Amino acid sequence: MGVQFSERELDIMAVLWEQGPSTAAEVRVALDDDITHNTVLKMLSILEEKGHVGHVEEGRAHRFHVLVAREAAGSSAFTRLVDKMFSGSAEALMSHFIRERRLTREDLERVRQVIDERLDDDHEPSPPARRVRKGGRA
């Protein structure tokens, strides 16, 4: 099914992806909200139970590190977004962003280039065109 995170778990993972191995206290400071140290520690423990983070002991503290690549989590989140919000249609998602003008002209040009490259990669030769004989029959 892929890697799945709650919103708070994703916040904590983002800190670890950005800062690298961190203690619960360092994660709490980076979150910049009213979350308690104990809550961060509990969330890190849950993430560890799920196999998403590991830790090494540093004196009395634990330094947590990611075991899941950001790209794997992003791919899973993208798939869930497409499935849940756009009925499984990546085309609908892309159309939404284009219609909502969330992409600049430069963004659109880069997307066009990616699409062109993908079309070139997936290009299969067309079947030979059928010749039409006089009288309109093939």
Kindly give the confidence (pLDDT) of every residue in the chain, 138 residues in length, as a single tens digit, with 9 standing for 90 and above: 567 888 899 899 999 999 999 999 999 999 988 899 999 999 999 999 999 999 999 999 999 999 999 888 887 788 888 888 889 898 888 888 788 877 788 988 998 899 899 898 876 555 444 444 445 444
Residue 15 has a pLDDT of: 95
Q: Answer yes or no: do 23 and 61 share one domain.
A: yes
| Residue 81 to residues 10, 20, 68, 86, 94, Cα–Cα distance (Å) | 15, 27, 19, 7, 12
Q: Which domain covers residue 16, as residue numbers?
A: 7-66
Question: For tokens 């993208």, what's the residue?
Answer: 78
Q: Which residues contact 99 (CB under 8 A, 6 or more apart)?
A: none
Integer Cα distance of 26 and 67 in angstroms: 18
| Residue 109 covered by a domain | yes
The pLDDT assigned to 18 comes to 95
Task: Based on the fold, state whether residues 47 and 94 are members of the same structural domain.
Answer: no
Q: Are residues 60 and 100 in the same domain?
A: no
Looking at the domain assignment, is residue 134 inside a domain?
no
Q: What is the pTM of this model?
A: 0.65
**What total number of domains does the chain contain?**
2
Residue 12, sorted as left (phi over 0), alpha (psi -120 to 50) or beta, turns out to be alpha
| CATH number (domain holding residue 29) | 1.10.10.10
